[in-house]
Structure 1
Amino acid sequence: MTLQDLFRSVSQQPGPFALVLMCIPLLALLVNLWSGRTPEEILRWKYAYTVLVYAAAIPGVFAFTLNIYLFLFERQSVWTMNLITQVLPMISMGATLWMIRQKIPFSYVPGFGKLSGFLTLIAALIGVLFFLDRLHFYAVTYVPFAYLLIGFVGVLLLIRFAWSRLF
């Protein structure tokens, strides 16, 4: 099964996928209501918040990355977007993260820093690949490929360092 086959089957039967994506923010709302008011009571629920963050972020980040790829590299029109597979995961992620942020700071959610680092890496890779795609340069060089690879990794590390200083 290819990714296109998966999207086609979800488009033909959107109900279960949409239901799962809509249940994640609803579960975040329920956890917010059940977790109490004092910081000690809220922190007891931090692992439930972690599961909800990752359950919302994995499809949301995938949809966001897929949209960037489709618009920048495949030149897909906005008019042909699939709302269930390309928009609903991002809306679900945004709503879930917003509700969780209302109750608990993300610094208390285990692994949230790793998620932001992963997003930074994806953004840097897409930016570098888009730049290379648009550059269309031809070069004859005597620089070994290993040096070019080290330079690429160095640029990624520099972007990661700059991102961490920015936020």
Structure 2
Amino acid sequence: MTLFDFFQFITAHAGVAVLFWVAVPAVTFLVNLWSGTTAEEIWRWRYVYAVLVYTAAIPGVFAVTLNIYLFLFERQSIWTMNLALQVLPILTMVGTLMLIRQKIPFGYVPGFGKLSGFLTLIAALIGLMWFFDRLRLVAFTYVPFVYIVVGFVGVLVLIRFAWSKMF
């Protein structure tokens, strides 16, 4: 099954996808109600919040990167957007993160720092890819492909290191 086949399947069964995208913030709202008001009660629910953050953020980040790719590289028109796959995951991510932020600081959510580092890496990678796409550089070289991959990974590590030093 290709990614295109998977998207076609979800588009054909959009009701299940919409139900999932609505259920994640609804469950977050219910967890906010059940988790109590004292710091000790909220602290006990931090792993549930971590699951909710990742359940909302992974598809949301994928949708954001997919939209950036489709609009920058594939030149997709905004009129042909698939709402169930390109818009609802982002809205679900934003809504869920806003609900969680009202109850608990993200610093207390286990693994949230790794998620922000992953987002930084994706943003740097997309920016680098867009730069090389716009550069229209054509090179005929005898350099082995392994050296190019090592150089690309080195640039990513350098960007990650510089980003962590800046912020």
Q: Residue 131 of structure 2 aligns with which residue?
A: 131
Which residue in the other structure is 1:5 paired with? 5
Bigger mean CA offset, 141-150 vs 53-62: 141-150
1:165 CA drift (Å): 4.0
- CA distance, structure 2, for counterparts of residue 142 and residue 7 of structure 1: 39
Alignment-derived partner of residue 66 in structure 1? 66
Map of 2:44 onto structure 1:
44
Equivalent in the alignment of 1:112:
112
* Alpha-carbon distance between aligned partners in 1 of 2:82 and 2:139, rounded to the nearest angstrom: 40
Offset of residue 5 of structure 1: 1.6
Query: Aligned ranges for residues 14-29 of structure 1 at < 5 Å?
Result: 14-29=14-29
Report what 2:94 is aligned to. 94
Structure 1's unaligned 5+ residue stretches are none
**Change beyond 3 A, Cα 1:95–1:166:** farther
Q: CA shift at 1:158, angstroms?
A: 3.0
In the superposition, relative to structure 1, how do residues 33 and 126 fare at CA in structure 2: closer, same or farther (>3 Å)?
same
Any idea what the Cα deviations from partners look like across 1:89-123, whole Å, max 9, x if unmatched?
00000000010011101111111111111111111
Distance 1:144 1:12, change over 3 A: closer
Q: Could you say what secondary structure the match of 1:87 adopts? A: helix
For residues 21-41 of structure 1, the C-alpha deviation after alignment (integer angstroms, 9 at most, x for no partner) is: 110001111111111111111
Q: Measure, in 2, the Cα distance between the counterparts of 1:139 and 1:11.
A: 40
Name the structure 1 match of 2:121.
Answer: 121
Q: TM-score, normalised by structure 2?
A: 0.90
Q: For residues 53-78 of structure 1, give each alpha carbon's deviation from its aligned partner in whole angstroms, at most 9, with x where no partner exists.
A: 01001111111111111111111011
Distance 1:166 1:24 in 2: 34
Report the equivalent of 2:30.
Answer: 30
Cα distance in 1 for residues equivalent to 2:37 and 2:10: 39
How far did 1:86 drift?
A: 0.4
Counterpart amino acid of residue 98 in structure 1: M
Aligned-residue Cα RMSD (Å) equals 1.8
Which amino acid in structure 1 is aligned with residue 158 of structure 2? L
Identity of aligned residues (%): 67
The offset of 1:147, in angstroms, is 5.6
